[in-house]
Structure 1
Amino acid sequence: MSAEPDHDPDGDPGHDHDYEELGLVAGLEIHQQLDTDTKLFCGCPTDRREPDNSTHRFRRYLHPTRSELGEIDVAALEEASVEREFEYLAFDSTCLVEADDEPPGRIDSEAVDVVLEIAALLDMTPIDQAHVMRKLVIDGSNTAGFQRSALVADDGAIETSAGTVEIEDLMLEEESAGRVDETESGVRYALDRLGIPLVEIGTRPDITSPAQAKEAAERIGMLLRSTGTVKRGLGTIRQDVNVSIAEGARVELKGVQSLDDIDDIVAGEVHRQVELLAIRDELDEREAGVGEPVDVTDVFAGTDSSVIDGALSGDGRAMAVRLEGFAGLVGHEIQPDRRLGTEFADHAKRHGVGGIFHTDELPAYGVTESEVDALREAVDASEDDAVAMVAADPEPAAAAIEAVAERARAAIAGVPEETRGVQETTSEYLRPLPGAARMYPETDVPPVELDIENVEPPELLTEKVDRYESEHDLDAGLAEQVAYGWRMGLFEAAVEQGVDPTLAAQTVESTVTELRRDGVPIEQLDDDRFLDAFALLTAGEVTTEGLPDLLATLAENPDLSPAEAADQEGLGSAGNEEVREIVVEVVERNADQVETEGMGAFSGLMGECMGALGGRAEGDTVSELLREEIQKRA
């Protein structure tokens, strides 16, 4: 077996596989933040804050607890094997519930209403009574050491071009704290995100291709946005994908930020599993095995490798393990820029080491050929064997090399079940798949009665597009831009206020985009400020041509009213007589051109007239008067 990938290195690995033959099945878990006024179990706002604005901080250590049956979840147990301190950034709005110093309040009624709307859109059946459960989470992302979650509905479905995808469950839960950065002793989180209402939509494993995974995610995303009560922007929606092939294993890929990447991520995981199965088959032929860890510190006494020498300073130790029959396979690429050895390193890093060394890549990093020979001899490795090694303080070194050995044994078996974190279109090991032992009842929050009978499903975004085309005569592209855009509600309010629909649509989409590109802080304008500007337009006090300048002035001067901004910039609408005077002046100044070219001079003179008026007159009015004046002289 070659140690090189069997795909075109310039192509896209994974997409050339026969998914039906491989037995691909996949399911989605969509996590979407709700745009409610308050958090799920307290009255704190759901607005995000900058870490630099934190007012105080505190630290915690978290440990796993046993389930009601006395079991400890395997994923939580592995998290606990790494001693870490968690630091939390709190804000002036942070309450005792968020700090886990006070029991949670009742579940937010607005969040319940929204999630029932989502259930209706997904054709799901709500359960009679929602009971909040605790889901054990000790990675520091929740101050309590668990996440509160409630099943709201089940048994739904969506349609894709490749067939029906059933929706297994709909959960309402609290969002985790936002990870800020790593510290020397652990991880730092910010509490502004903790507790924001979050819906989790889980499909059954009905998806059989990467393209269908993307289509299903897009459909669910459209339904969620149709409620008008979900947050928008990076990080407000995340997709987890569960992927397996017939001879592989279920792998949970967490943290897909972009819908556009889902098909590539699924294809990449299929390719990874195919490569791991090929490695398994080769290891089986070689009758591979894994030896016991050995202390090889003496091999590197006086080494010229600065990396190893630094790790061994003080009480550092070098630990190695013989990988029998693995020669050439540890360096085998299983995803772009990721090899089997990278998988080993993922597991080792969980125990606080920087990475691993292995003989498929040595000599390198200052390690000499003679040191490689001595390393092989120290662990009794033959030419057919590989050797993996870590260098660190004694305790992490011992734990890390054992983790490498465990992962090597899993490679002999094939594809391990695990949870992986997505990095663009590849992934890295996070932890084992969690089990049922991490769930137990929440005794501090009373159950909630659910009733979907009076829930009115909202208009779908696809239906809005059709309505904007038919009712407002928008072209298809502009109608879709507005319906799926951030300012759809503003557009509808402007039309209701009497603004021409096409002008309103172009303003909230094209004009806003152009102003942002020009460096105008357009995000400073809320919908009310836009509507006040539109009111001046419909009253004839500002022209269509002057509206962009008015919006720019309002964005840059938040203390000005729209009327004050219009006066400051001289954007008031000119009367017909004033417009005619300016048009006549421009025509007379260019009398020779008009006499020579007649209406051929219109385009150039129109621009001159509009410039002289500074946006204080509508283009149609100026055009009509200019044509009259040219015709008089033609």
Structure 2
Amino acid sequence: MTDHDYEELGLVAGLEIHQQLDTETKLFCNCPTELREPEESDRRFHRYLHPTKSELGELDQAALEESRVEREFEYLAYDSTCLVEEDDEPPHRLDDEAQAVVLEIAQLLDMDVVDQAHVMRKIVVDGSNTSGFQRSTLMASDGEISTSDGAVGIEDLMLEEESAQRVEERDDGVLYSLDRLGIPLVEIGTKPDIRSPEQAREAAEQIGMLLRSTGKVKRGLGTIRQDVNISIEEGARVEVKGVQSLDDIDDLVENEVHRQVRLLELREELRERDASVGDVVDVTDTFADTDSGVVGSALGSGGKVTAVPLYGFDGLVGAEIQPDRRLGTELSDHAKRHGAGGIFHTDELPAYGVTDEEVAALREAVGAGEADAVAIVAADPETADLAIEAAAERAETALEGVPEETRGANEDGTTRYLRPLPGAARMYPETDVPPVEPDPSEVETPELLTEKVERYQDEYGLDAGLAEQVAYGERMPLFERAVDELGADPTLAAGTVESTVTELRRDDVPVENLTEDHFLGTLEAVADGETAKGNVGAVLTALAESPDLTASEAIEREGLGSAGEDEVREAVVEVVERNEGQVEEQGMQAFSGLMGEAMGALGGKADGDTVSELLREEIQKRA
């Protein structure tokens, strides 16, 4: 892919970071915020959602397009699901804990907190909320973060309810799980100050670090999502939704810039050719005797084949605009929105069982010449009509350049069409929730993770790598509790919550069963001399496999108790006397070999430091 001069192209980008908060209860009810497995669901219900007009009597275009496809939404409910989540009871007041976390985040972003926060409704008719809208509240505005390429302004900080979790996509709708619906979510929107893919990634990393510094955000896949708004000077604003990984942001920005550049180049080529889009034609008869499996299957089920001539488009429908994505892919994305499997076009035909003779007949049926292209859809009659119209509309916008739209992020760093950009008509006041007056004076600014790294080195003596690993790790609060409350050895505690857990996971130990009490109990047992440092992994393994045990019970069951000093000395003396000749001959040079033997004789009942000290004493007596 061609390298681009982003300054010359006039790249402008902004971020929207969505982060789940780790609160006890959801934003508008008292239900827990833990995720459940779908098989735990004890009941289901169905909904059909439709767009409604705003307070000004306007319909949002994104919601209107979504509603053109009739879909059924099914929801998995649980023993923890309440009437608020089912939209059978008005929402409660904004959760106090979530408000407090948001105010901490506002301070870290140097933002101005609003005097009074009002809850708004944002229309959402993709089924991800049972009510047909998402509740959102502006909490702060006008902040700033620093990057190596300059400051990036923070436009706003919103407190929102998380959407329902998508479990299964179906031909006629979607299956959602209600366990995630209503978890408090912050949305941080930057100003359009980002000028390069690298700056976009750095800004996202900086915001992510600030969020984790609170110690009150959820961790793991799906708990943080990034949306990126991207445009170039001659292009258009495109919102890319659902970027899961920070590692993908710079590639995604680069690919979107390339897509817009290519669309502008195709526009110029189409204009030079005086290209146009013709009328939709029913070409079912052309494929009456087809051997194409896709087309034949549609016709065999009572379907039809619709086509649209694309005058002057020959060779350009198949033109690549992103890695492995072409203009034809864009047309296909729009057709898929209406239930079609996709489109075929003459830049790729004959193929898929479609013959040269059928392609020639197709061109003749729609009046297309050699300089023209044709796109077709084979599906049930209603789907075929809607899908080919959508593909034709997208072809029309190719004559204009880059359409404003919302796109979804793919795993390979490319994007796909989702829907038009939403407008102001999708937002209107929520009348069931009273406003709140946030008080930032009662909130303490949390320590930054970068500051924690330095403190862990200075205060606890951790090396730089381990200090950073613990500070940025999801068990950072657990580490601090172990050191501050239990007096655990900092290096042991840090190694336990990071490297030991990683090693156990690699050995297929079910570490997801380990709780904070398991870790704290194990570290406390070491601090109290109940077991040796070297047994931490074995104790945690026993607890992971039998989560109902306490650390003391696991130590007793596995025979991992510590030996007293007399027992340790006795074992060491026995090893030294058994190797008396070697000790007399080699002196302290015999230490390494005897150390391993002594540790083996004690079977993990003593720390290496204790054994080492006693062994040196006994060798020196005889040397």
TM tier, shorter chain?
over 0.9
Q: Deviations over 1:318-355 (max 9, x none)?
A: 00011111111111111111111011000000011101
Could you say which residue in structure 1 is the equivalent of 2:170?
Answer: 183
Could you say which residue in structure 1 is the equivalent of 2:471?
Answer: 483
SS at match of 1:130: coil
- Give the alignment partner of residue 527 of structure 1, picking from 516, 519, 529: 516
- Give the alignment partner of residue 291 of structure 1, picking from 264, 271, 278: 278
**CA-CA distance at 1:155 after TM superposition:** 0.8
Q: Does 1:581 align with 2:563?
A: no
- Give the alignment partner of residue 457 of structure 1, picking from 424, 445, 459: 445
Q: Does 1:385 align with 2:372?
A: yes
**CA-CA distance at 1:150 after TM superposition:** 0.8
Q: 1:596 to 1:281 in 2, by over 3 A?
A: farther
Could you say which residue in structure 2 is the equivalent of 1:616?
Answer: 605
Segments of 4+ moved more than 6 angstroms: none
Separation (CA, whole Å) in 2 of partners of 1:414 and 1:136: 29
Q: Does 1:473 align with 2:461?
A: yes
**CA-CA distance at 1:603 after TM superposition:** 2.1
Paired letter, 1:89: L
Paired letter, 1:557: S
Q: Is the contact between residue 167 and residue 203 of structure 1 (CA under 8 Å) also seen in structure 2?
A: yes
Q: 1:306 to 1:598 in 2, by over 3 A?
A: same
Could you say which residue in structure 2 is the equivalent of 1:209?
Answer: 196
Separation (CA, whole Å) in 1 of partners of 2:293 and 2:477: 60
Of 136-145 and 525-534, the range deviating more from structure 2: 525-534
Runs of 5+ unmatched residues, structure 1: 1-6, 8-12
SS at match of 1:220: helix
1:310-389 equivalences in 2 (<5 Å)? 310-389=297-376
- Give the alignment partner of residue 432 of structure 1, picking from 386, 405, 420: 420
Could you say which residue in structure 1 is the equivalent of 2:506?
Answer: 517
Q: Does 1:549 align with 2:535?
A: no
Q: Is the contact between residue 132 and residue 150 of structure 1 (CA under 8 Å) also seen in structure 2?
A: yes
SS at match of 1:47: coil
Separation (CA, whole Å) in 2 of partners of 1:439 and 1:38: 25
Separation (CA, whole Å) in 2 of partners of 1:483 and 1:333: 44
**CA-CA distance at 1:145 after TM superposition:** 0.4
CA RMSD, 1 decimal = 1.3
SS at match of 2:226: strand
Could you say which residue in structure 1 is the equivalent of 2:90?
Answer: 103
- Give the alignment partner of residue 142 of structure 2, picking from 147, 155, 158: 155
Q: Is the contact between residue 498 and residue 538 of structure 1 (CA under 8 Å) also seen in structure 2?
A: yes
Paired letter, 1:274: V
**CA-CA distance at 1:299 after TM superposition:** 0.6
Separation (CA, whole Å) in 2 of partners of 1:593 and 1:84: 83
Q: Deviations over 1:200-240 (max 9, x none)?
A: 01111000000100111111111111111111111000000
Could you say which residue in structure 2 is the equivalent of 1:492?
Answer: 480
Separation (CA, whole Å) in 2 of partners of 1:356 and 1:547: 59
Paired letter, 1:576: E
**CA-CA distance at 1:631 after TM superposition:** 4.2
Separation (CA, whole Å) in 2 of partners of 1:134 and 1:253: 22
Q: Deviations over 1:366-408 (max 9, x none)?
A: 1110100000111111111110000011111011011011000
1:189-338 equivalences in 2 (<5 Å)? 189-338=176-325
Separation (CA, whole Å) in 1 of partners of 2:203 and 2:133: 30
Q: Deviations over 1:131-156 (max 9, x none)?
A: 11110000000000000111111111
Q: Is the contact between residue 152 and residue 171 of structure 1 (CA under 8 Å) also seen in structure 2?
A: yes
Of 111-120 and 290-299, the range deviating more from structure 2: 111-120
Separation (CA, whole Å) in 2 of partners of 1:197 and 1:89: 20
Q: Does 1:602 align with 2:591?
A: yes
What percentage of residue pairs aligned between the two structures are identical? 73
**CA-CA distance at 1:589 after TM superposition:** 4.1
Q: Does 1:68 align with 2:50?
A: no
Of 289-298 and 493-502, the range deviating more from structure 2: 493-502
Q: Deviations over 1:481-521 (max 9, x none)?
A: 11111111111111112112112111111111111211222
Could you say which residue in structure 2 is the equivalent of 1:10?
Answer: none
- Give the alignment partner of residue 26 of structure 2, picking from 26, 32, 39: 39
Separation (CA, whole Å) in 2 of partners of 1:551 and 1:304: 62
SS at match of 2:85: coil
Could you say which residue in structure 1 is the equivalent of 2:107?
Answer: 120
Could you say which residue in structure 2 is the equivalent of 1:3?
Answer: none
Q: Is the contact between residue 546 and residue 614 of structure 1 (CA under 8 Å) also seen in structure 2?
A: no
Q: TM-score, normalised by structure 2?
A: 0.98
How many residues end up aligned between the 2 structures?
621
- Give the alignment partner of residue 625 of structure 1, picking from 594, 614, 621: 614
Q: Does 1:447 align with 2:435?
A: yes
Separation (CA, whole Å) in 2 of partners of 1:211 and 1:74: 33
Q: 1:379 to 1:597 in 2, by over 3 A?
A: farther
Separation (CA, whole Å) in 2 of partners of 1:596 and 1:418: 83
Separation (CA, whole Å) in 2 of partners of 1:316 and 1:596: 95
Paired letter, 2:371: D
Separation (CA, whole Å) in 2 of partners of 1:614 and 1:266: 57
Separation (CA, whole Å) in 2 of partners of 1:254 and 1:575: 61
Q: Does 1:503 align with 2:464?
A: no
Q: Deviations over 1:88-129 (max 9, x none)?
A: 000000011101111111111111111111111111111111
Paired letter, 1:558: P
Separation (CA, whole Å) in 2 of partners of 1:154 and 1:333: 41
Separation (CA, whole Å) in 1 of partners of 2:487 and 2:101: 30
Q: Is the contact between residue 240 and residue 255 of structure 1 (CA under 8 Å) also seen in structure 2?
A: yes
Paired letter, 2:344: F
Paired letter, 2:479: F
Separation (CA, whole Å) in 1 of partners of 2:373 and 2:581: 89
- Give the alignment partner of residue 81 of structure 1, picking from 57, 64, 68: 68
Q: Is the contact between residue 147 and residue 176 of structure 1 (CA under 8 Å) also seen in structure 2?
A: yes
**CA-CA distance at 1:596 after TM superposition:** 5.7
Runs of 5+ unmatched residues, structure 2: none
Paired letter, 1:515: L
**CA-CA distance at 1:594 after TM superposition:** 4.5
**CA-CA distance at 1:593 after TM superposition:** 4.9
Q: TM-score, normalised by structure 1?
A: 0.96
**CA-CA distance at 1:68 after TM superposition:** 1.5
Q: Is the contact between residue 171 and residue 339 of structure 2 (CA under 8 Å) also seen in structure 1?
A: no
Separation (CA, whole Å) in 2 of partners of 1:288 and 1:277: 14
